[in-house]
Amino acid sequence: MLRVCIPLSALILWSSAVSAATTIPLLPPPKLQASSYLLIDSQTQTVIAEHNAQERNPPASLTKIMTGYVVEEEIRRGRLGVDEPVQISVNAWRTGGSKMFIREGTSVPVADLLKGVIIQSGNDASVALAEQIAGSEDAFADLMNQQASLLGLEDTQFRNATGLPDEQHYSTAKDLALLTRALIENHPEQYQLYSEKSFTFNNIEQPNRNRLLWRDRSVDGVKTGFTNAAGYCLVASAERNGMRLISVVLGTDSDEARMRESQKLLSYGFRNFETKTLYSQNQTLQEQPIYYGVVEAMPIGVAEDVVLTFPKGYYQDIEASITVPEYFEAPVRKGDVLGTIELKLGGENLYSGNVVALATVEEAGVFSRLGDYIYLLFDQSAADE
């Protein structure tokens, strides 16, 4: 086998930047006044900072991220119309907590109710949509749990569409970050609503409770939550220079604290880490000799984009190497796995993946193959001497 170093030029990588940073100088992440928190890069899902990220906690109104997600899935599948009128029940109208102030017996379009859920954190709007989609809030919670399972949220269970207290209603910082990432990736149009600073319904204007939208221009979401059991919570997301981070802060003691601690996380991530595409799908990394084929060399590369989150300023220190046979023999099909590629930083392995053929090479004619056979025969004989 041949092992060669290659230059960095431009992967999807699942790595731990914190682990990689243990062998190089790096400021430690801030310690927050919160019961649980997590900071990840949205693209690579690299964990940049965390504390009790898999601890189950009451999510309060962070629940409504899933409520909105399920609504959008129903719209996408054609089972719910954006302009579809929703009859407001007594049950929805009477729901306690934060309100959109819809009225019993009236009809409200889905689009307005969705804004009421996302911008105004309306419990009444959440119940109205749940009843419209599933017939009851309990049945809608079943849909929420099915969607949580599809998204791989392993420590989440919903009992309602609002986040009002229930001992069997819980989630984790990790699961809420994964849910938010899915929302941003799968439903970007709905995600835009999370950046709107106010919404007026029934002549009542209410501001978005996420006050980071006013403090940091790079923040474009996501959702606040509060109950006595949950404390003050905030899922936030921001994008700077093409890098998007998602922070989850649970169990702080005030509205000001959840904003302050979230901003600490985001600032730490943007200041100390960067995300780059190191290699692109179908990018030729090198040409490798091939015998018995219609060409003499074959391009090899990675099967998918390779994207990496790593400590800022250490791009040039990432070491890349490819391990492949010294030559190949035709026929070879495009996409065939030919070897491996490794990326390391500070002695830590950041990525290991396959190297593949970027082109199909068919067998050459008889005389050409005979010539390659004779060449290899003598080449091997010379090597054995």
CB 214, CB 238: distance < 8 Å:
no
Q: How many CB atoms lie within 10 A of CB 282?
A: 15
| Strands 243-252 and 231-240, bridge-based pairing | antiparallel
- The string of DSSP letters for 163-201 reads ----TT-BB-HHHHHHHHHHHHHH-HHHHGGGG--EEEE
CB 339, CB 307: distance < 8 Å:
no
- Residue 230 has, within 13 A of its CA and on its CB side, a CA count of 30
Just list the catalytic residues.
61, 64, 121
Question: Can you name the residues that pair with 240 across neighbouring β-strands?
Answer: 243
DSSP code for 143: H
SS3 content of the chain, % helix, strand, coil (to 5): 35, 30, 35
Q: How many CB atoms lie within 10 A of CB 4?
A: 13
- The string of DSSP letters for 1-28 reads -EEEE------B----HHHHGGGS--PP
